[in-house]
Structure 1
Amino acid sequence: MKAELHKRSLVLGAALAAGLGVSLPALSQAPPSNTASDVAIDELNEIIVTARRTEERLQDVPISITVYNQEQLANRNVTNAVDLANFTPSLSANSNFGIENTSFAIRGFVQELGTQPSVGTYFADVVAPRGPTQGTQAGDGVGPGSFFDLQNVQILKGPQGTLFGRNTTGGAVLLVPQKPTGDFGGYIEGSYGDYDMYRLQAALNAPFGENARFRLAADHQEREGYLNNISGIGPKDYNDVNYSAVRASLVLDLTPNLENYTIASWSKSDTHGSVEKLIACNPTGYNPPNPQIGLRNFVGILSCGQLQSEQARGTDFHDVQAAVPNPISLIEQWQLINTTSWHVSDTVTLKNIASYAEFTNEQRSPLFGTNWQASTLPAAYQPVFFRGVPAVFTGVFAIPGHNIADQSTYTEELQLQGGSEDGRLRYQAGGYLEWSDPLSTVGNQSPQLAACTDLASLACSDPIGSVFSVALSQQLGFPVPINVAAVNYTAGRTTYRSRGIYAQSSYDLSSQFTLTGGLRYTWDEQTNNAQRITYNFPVLPPFLGAPTQRCTDPSTTANNCSQYLKQESDKPTWLLGLDYKPGDDVLVYGKYARGYRAGGVFTNAPIDHRTFDPEQVDNFEVGLKTSFRSAVRGLFNIAAFYNDFSDQQLQFGFDARVDPVTGATAPVSPTTAVMNAGKSRIYGAEIELSISPLDGLTLDASYTYLKAEIRSIDSVTTVDPNYQVQTSQIESGAPLALSPENKYALSANYTWRLPETVGSITFGATFVHTDEQLTTYGYHDPAIVALYGQDLGTIDSRNLLNLNVNWDGIAGTSVDASVFATNVTDEEYYQYVPGLATSGSEYASLGEPRMYGVRLRYRFGD
């Protein structure tokens, strides 16, 4: 009923032209120039961004921003969030749940599992549709089919809490679509490349009289996966691509002063999903009390058996093993955005924005690349009846008949923008509302060390538990059942509410000095109602019978294994800044900003850690933006920042409690909790340079130095009788995750302008270096490093090179051609390591290998 009401209110808003408008940036005309280099640099100087919710020249905005237009995205072959992060200093990506469910990190601000984003993602000024944060990562980001027919992508660095609200402590990523114009035209584009990649794109722009403009764009891409599955079970590849996306936009000039802008979009991605490669094992287990085989050891033993078999047969870097016969990652999203601008007068504009979106995600994913066989166990522990039966470590599997995400998100924002008659005062104020409700119950039915022929019907066995049970029963002379494997069932519904009011203004103290101040107050609420059940399976002969069922949390037994959690949080955020502009081409700024990320709930945590509070950051930043138009034309931007980060939301691990007297283990699986236990210091600098030393040649460089470290960690305890704190935890002095100390990008483009009857040819190259970076805190425990002989939680540095050649206007026609290659040196690198050392094994998500292809585009109309 609520969803239907949201839809109706949205449609009514469109009909009444009561939406918020984002008008098409009108690029200023570049000064007369006779060289391609001058044109390129002037275009850089005149880039229009919406970083402060209004149109401004990039060089006039006192924010550190990286901007890519659609051509630059195409030259780098950016088709997903990981691609964008790989080529952007200050931006990192967590791909633990696959490239289709990636979260961003900027300047060390990372989204932990179970928390809300630290980097807000926006499309056409609307925040990304929500997804549940319980157990998996889905929604809240840039999904498949987002990087086409865009005006630009803007990466805003540093807290954006005043104008964009909560959950932007690290920054924001803005995707700005092409807006319909008054010219008829469009394009059709086809791409083909290795891994059987093909992509089709098209756009049509059509005016309907003087007061209506329409644009329709579509994108479809398919590509085989670059992870080669050698298990013989399920598909032959993972990390494949198969999406379709459609976007329709309509602009109506209802009156000379009232414009309505509506965007309808739909996308669908249907792939095998992702899997992480098994990269290390330890058969002795983590810090065992004795050298005998124990429960913890079997994960390591089975993993080492798998690795030994792979080494014996010979495998490549991108070979993986996965034991799921029918994996799927199906993501579908549709969204309607209505925006309208009412220019009340020459100095006052009233805007309102309304949106409604639905996000659905079905998954059957092994998550970790295991294909464990009982035949790899020591001979004394090999039950004949389980030889050759694969067991899945764990995975993401939607509960029968449902999805892991099925969420609606409705937003409404009313905004007033204006200024004084003399232009010295500029202001905006507004109110924001967001409702996000589940469309149905969602959840995960995940096997833990279980061998399942039909997970949905719980047709599973416990091969490792059976090994223990049979051996111990024979030794003692009476039956002793020991369950190791389980299927954990979690089903629930999560709702979000967010409300905020804000105001920000800038006042020119003089022709050179401008003072900016802003304040926002935000109220957030998250609720979750979840049922958690654990199923165990017979472990003694004849190994038959129905699974036993118990509440994962014994304290919820009286409530049918269900619990209700609610967390409310509210915080002010603010901005105070001073700009100094001695000339049109120089801007010096300094600012102090407060950022805030909402608290929330995490149902899988121990009983005393199932809710957590908001976190906050105080950001201090100074910067310089300058352009020069002498013999060498270009621009130079630099920003230095310092962040004081407190009440930090960090994830801690908990093991099943072991009775110190009997040695019995509590009947629960290891879990994690989000706690406000950290204080960190983050500082660094960002530099961007673009110059044109020769006619036709443009050189670009960007660099980020980042020092992000945890200053202190609160003591971690729990009163839950079923859990104990893991020995390996986060330590003071550790660097923050996904925070490379140095990252830089170098690019060069040379345009060879030939006669019009031939066209112009551009040669381009982009090189990106990323320092080593931490992805997992636990590896700072010396005991774990000693067990594995290396710090697996820190992934190595990497160097990526992209090349492209574009031939525009071939033979004087409207046909353009491109050749592109990414990761030209075929660098082999880890993208992310989840940190499962205490289990006896470790895994990694792998970066893309070398890829190449060609594009052909036909332009028509004006």
Structure 2
Amino acid sequence: MEGPLTVLILTVGRSYDRLIHTDNRPSRVTRIAEPSAIRGRKCMKASSIYFSATCAAAAIAIGSSSPLHAQSDAPAQAASDVDAIGEIIVTAQKTEEKLSRAPLAVTALTGDALAKNHITDASSLASSVPSMNFGMYGGTARLAIRGVGFNSINAGAEGRVAYYTDGIYFSRPATALSGFYDVARVEILRGPQGTLYGRNATGGALNVITADPTSDLSGYFTQTIGNYNLFTEEGAVSGPLSDTVSGRLAVKIVNRDGYGKNYGTGNDVDNAATQSVRAKLRFEPSAETTITAAFDYHHENDRNYGGHYGGQAYPAVFPVMLSTLLTRQQLGGPIPPTVRDFDSLIDPSNRRTFYGASLTVEHDLSFATLKSITAYRHSNYTDKYADGTGDATPLTNSEKANQISQELQLSGDSDTFRWVGGVYYFRERINGHVDIPLGVDLLNLLGLGPIPASPNGYVHGYWAGGIGKTETVAGYGQATWKITPELELTGGLRYAWERHKVKDSVQFDFSAMTTPNPLSSALFTPAPRSDSETSFTPKATLSYFFAPDSTFYVTVAKGYKSGGFDLGATQLTPYNPEKLWDYEAGVKTRLFGGRVQANLAAFYYDYSNLQVSVIIGNIVNTKNAAKARSYGFEGEIQAILAPGLRLDLNGSYLNAKFKDFITANTDLVGAPVLNYKGNTLPQSPKWQGQAGFEYTHDLASGSLRLRGDVNYSSRIHFSPFNIRTISQGEFTKFDASIDYIGGSDKWQVGLFVKNITDKTTIASATANSFLASNSLLSYIDPPRTYGVTATVRF
């Protein structure tokens, strides 16, 4: 039981440095860049960049890594320089505003904060954000905020937390695993964002804002070397190409040995081999117009993201995994020594390529700013792995998707009103499938035979997939009436139309595989289906500024998750959109001359038409089969306790329960239909939090910075049926780092260690079907990692 004192001690948070921006400009990655002009309320005239091949080659040759890329945002602050919490300018509401005055629950971390805490991806980010949880399944990210997450296992499924990079929606959940590099800041919006962000932002939104080109020649290079033979290089070079054109090139390369071993092949598993590159060109034909073109590419080829054998989900039904009773020739194998290991003749395989291009045009109309964002995204990945032991039920997840989007925004500000409106178009085509051939000897052992022998030992088994198409058009607007200097009323509305088309197939076939083709004559392909839907997502907020940088607000907002079809479910009727109403109040205040910043929020959710996975026959379907309610509170506090000494706290309490959920336990064959009312929603720990202490000491030359963090979470359920074996118990983890910053701020070197006590925790888990003995398919968080990081800047 966690009492108030325990919670106070354990609600702990990583630090995220608040940079001071006296001219209301947003964070920039390159420290030595200076603004060339300020236009109206715009943050900064687009800087120019020098980008010669010589400089690019030099920066990449030096090598690079993530830890300090955003510290170039501002000089590392010595103890004597820090007398107040810095302010961050955010664009969470598609207009610039101070974080302390933004009337919504949003966490903003600058690139410097990401670097100091060694946050390199969404997985390591989650522990720094109240009410946020990160999970994974089959190479796809499962982001959850306030218990609103992602639990589908079908190809083509979409999450409930919208993921954006530079204002562009990334529809595929797998892309959220590609990591951060050359980032100016990350904004995490908690609560439904249906008005400004639209579809699939029921839980919130994660905005990644990457570094822009700079007006001066500048750059950085970071090298990280760690245990498990980790070598990470990250760097960027930036500068002017002409008086009106600038550019920026950023690169990140990660190579690491695996956290575990496959005893069947002798190879390591959960290793990493990734390459990422991003290029930006900015053209400023006039003082009123800025045109930014961007291209990014990400590639992985390793043995990562495999599901591990985590034991038996229902030991009373299957005390052991039956494949362990089979020989290698029968596609069986022993249980591996630890949960991090495999014992299979099939190595996990991860192959993925993501890339995209965008064109952003901004034009100052004097009375308003017009902005156009045009984007194309491509994603292609295939992950294959056994269940951690043996080879009788190998699983392949594959998905290829292309999307285009176009958004037009018009925003303005006057003495009486601040407003933003726009139209949005999105189109996507997905080709995905799930493939699970089944071992002949395993089926006979289960009593499903006699199954005739097969040349490769497999029958065709389960295959589900197809082609899905989504098209949506939306219009939105949000306006703030400045009733008095202290009182503001905001109202917003979004109307969207969406159409879904699907052509899919499914098979469950015990005929022998005589060719490599997983499809058989038993493949069932119904006629193509389509459906359309409309949605209204309003929002109303009343804000009271009781001090220059202190805000109290109350909000009512609606969010929705799109309906549609599951690829491979061959369902004749679509599932409907989810709906969530949020009733929320919050306060943000700066105290003691800005030495303390506190952000607090409390909320109540009314959640209807929940999309849950049910098994009909042998096919996984999504149905609107549940209602839920959630309430909780969360807080973030940063404080300067003494010269050079900083405290960072964040924590949350969440009570997320089903109000109505009538179904059978889909993990078990023949389970009775029950009402699971009162069960906790997946990915909804009751308590979680972090605390971090940071001390910076001035030396004769440079400064020394020491930091320690602790992270706590109560039990996390991964199944809506709240089976204790399919959960992660409460845990506490510790991190530490020490950095020396050179006197000129041109270089830095540091040591870090994460998960000091080497705690083994599960990021997510699911129960396999009876064909795999209801074994647990588990995805494991990283073990203890440590290393050294060095950065140079120019």
Same fold (TM over 0.5): yes
Residue 615 to residue 258, structure 1, CA distance change in 2 (3 Å):
same
Paired position in structure 2 for 1:738: 683
Q: Give 3-state SS (helix, strand or coil) of 2:615's partner.
A: strand
Paired position in structure 2 for 1:108: 147
| Aligned mates of 1:285, 1:194 — CA distance in 2 | 40
Paired position in structure 2 for 1:266: 297
1:112-511 matches, cutoff 5 A: 112-113=151-152, 114=154, 115-128=157-170, 130-131=171-172, 139=174, 141-144=175-178, 146-230=179-263, 232-233=264-265, 236-281=267-312, 286=317, 300-303=321-324, 315-325=337-347, 327-345=348-366, 347-366=367-386, 368-371=387-390, 391-396=391-396, 404-420=398-414, 423-438=415-430, 441-448=431-438, 450=439, 461-465=440-444, 468=447, 485-511=459-485
On the 8 A contact 2:336/2:388 being kept in 1, the answer is no
Paired position in structure 2 for 1:675: 623
Paired position in structure 2 for 1:664: none
On the 8 A contact 1:778/1:793 being kept in 2, the answer is no
Residue 589 to residue 419, structure 1, CA distance change in 2 (3 Å):
same
| Aligned mates of 2:497, 2:775 — CA distance in 1 | 42
Question: Which amino acid in the other structure matches residue 194 of structure 1?
Answer: N
Question: Which amino acid in the other structure matches residue 531 of structure 1?
Answer: S
On the 8 A contact 1:462/1:537 being kept in 2, the answer is no
Q: Give 3-state SS (helix, strand or coil) of 1:828's partner.
A: coil
Q: CA deviation at 1:218?
A: 0.6
| Aligned mates of 1:798, 1:188 — CA distance in 2 | 35
On the 8 A contact 1:462/1:538 being kept in 2, the answer is no
Q: CA deviation at 1:225?
A: 1.4
1:716-795 matches, cutoff 5 A: 726-727=671-672, 731-755=676-700, 758-780=701-723, 791-795=724-728
Cα deviation code 1:1-57 (max 9, x no counterpart): xxxxxxxxxxxxxxxxxxxx996699xxxxxx9984585564x44211110011111
On the 8 A contact 2:561/2:579 being kept in 1, the answer is yes
Q: CA deviation at 1:617?
A: 0.5
| Aligned mates of 2:501, 2:147 — CA distance in 1 | 28
Question: Which amino acid in the other structure matches residue 763 of structure 2?
Answer: Q
Paired position in structure 2 for 1:619: 582
Specify which structure has the bigger relative contact order, considering alpha-carbon pairs within 8 angstroms and separated by 6 or more residues: 2
On the 8 A contact 2:647/2:694 being kept in 1, the answer is yes
Q: CA deviation at 1:807?
A: 1.0
Q: CA deviation at 1:485?
A: 5.0
Q: CA deviation at 1:842?
A: 2.3
| Aligned mates of 2:446, 2:201 — CA distance in 1 | 50
Q: Give 3-state SS (helix, strand or coil) of 1:777's partner.
A: coil
Residue 75 to residue 626, structure 1, CA distance change in 2 (3 Å):
same
Cα deviation code 1:445-473 (max 9, x no counterpart): 3213x2xxxxxxxxxx4553388588899
Q: CA deviation at 1:431?
A: 0.2
| Aligned mates of 2:669, 2:775 — CA distance in 1 | 21
| Aligned mates of 2:96, 2:446 — CA distance in 1 | 67
Which one of the candidate residues 538, 547, 551 is aligned to 1:583? Answer: 547
Q: Give 3-state SS (helix, strand or coil) of 1:848's partner.
A: coil
Which one of the candidate residues 593, 606, 609 is aligned to 2:557? Answer: 593
Q: CA deviation at 1:318?
A: 2.4
On the 8 A contact 1:335/1:356 being kept in 2, the answer is yes
TM-score by length of 2: 0.83
Count of aligned pairs: 715
Residue 801 to residue 311, structure 1, CA distance change in 2 (3 Å):
farther
| Aligned mates of 1:433, 1:41 — CA distance in 2 | 46
Cα deviation code 1:516-550 (max 9, x no counterpart): 000001112222212334443459xxx99999944
Paired position in structure 2 for 1:80: 121
Q: Where is the helix percentage greater, Structure 1 or Structure 2?
A: 1
| Aligned mates of 2:357, 2:788 — CA distance in 1 | 33
- Would you say 1:814 and 2:779 are equivalent positions? no
Q: CA deviation at 1:156?
A: 0.6
Paired position in structure 2 for 1:707: 655
Residue 424 to residue 607, structure 1, CA distance change in 2 (3 Å):
closer
| Aligned mates of 2:615, 2:82 — CA distance in 1 | 51
Q: CA deviation at 1:160?
A: 0.7
Residue 779 to residue 323, structure 1, CA distance change in 2 (3 Å):
farther
Residue 24 to residue 79, structure 1, CA distance change in 2 (3 Å):
farther
On the 8 A contact 2:228/2:257 being kept in 1, the answer is yes
On the 8 A contact 1:159/1:619 being kept in 2, the answer is yes
| Aligned mates of 1:765, 1:634 — CA distance in 2 | 19
Cα deviation code 1:172-213 (max 9, x no counterpart): 000000111212211111110000100111111102344222
- Would you say 1:65 and 2:136 are equivalent positions? no
Q: CA deviation at 1:304?
A: 7.2
| Aligned mates of 1:171, 1:546 — CA distance in 2 | 41
Cα deviation code 1:324-364 (max 9, x no counterpart): 15x4211111111111111011x311111101111111333
- Would you say 1:691 and 2:691 are equivalent positions? no
Cα deviation code 1:400-451 (max 9, x no counterpart): xxxx22211111011111133xx2211111100011124xx54343213x2x
Q: CA deviation at 1:285?
A: 6.9
| Aligned mates of 1:34, 1:547 — CA distance in 2 | 56
Q: Give 3-state SS (helix, strand or coil) of 2:721's partner.
A: helix
Superposed CA RMSD: 3.4
Bigger radius of gyration: 1
Find runs of 4+ consecutive structure 1 residues off by over 6 angstroms: 282-285, 310-314, 469-473, 543-548
On the 8 A contact 1:281/1:303 being kept in 2, the answer is no
Question: Which amino acid in the other structure matches residue 718 of structure 2?
Answer: T
| Aligned mates of 2:639, 2:554 — CA distance in 1 | 25
On the 8 A contact 1:207/1:213 being kept in 2, the answer is yes
Which one of the candidate residues 497, 501, 522 is aligned to 1:551? Answer: 522
| Aligned mates of 1:698, 1:219 — CA distance in 2 | 31
Question: Which amino acid in the other structure matches residue 641 of structure 1?
Answer: F
On the 8 A contact 1:577/1:592 being kept in 2, the answer is yes
Identity of aligned residues (%): 24
Q: CA deviation at 1:724?
A: 8.3
Q: CA deviation at 1:111?
A: 1.6
Cα deviation code 1:660-698 (max 9, x no counterpart): xxxxxxxxxx33221111110111001111111110011
Paired position in structure 1 for 2:16: none
Q: CA deviation at 1:275?
A: 2.4
Q: CA deviation at 1:826?
A: 0.6
| Aligned mates of 2:536, 2:735 — CA distance in 1 | 43
Question: Which amino acid in the other structure matches residue 289 of structure 2?
Answer: L
Q: Give 3-state SS (helix, strand or coil) of 1:83's partner.
A: helix
Question: Which amino acid in the other structure matches residue 548 of structure 2?
Answer: D
Question: Which amino acid in the other structure matches residue 413 of structure 1?
Answer: E
TM-score by length of 1: 0.77
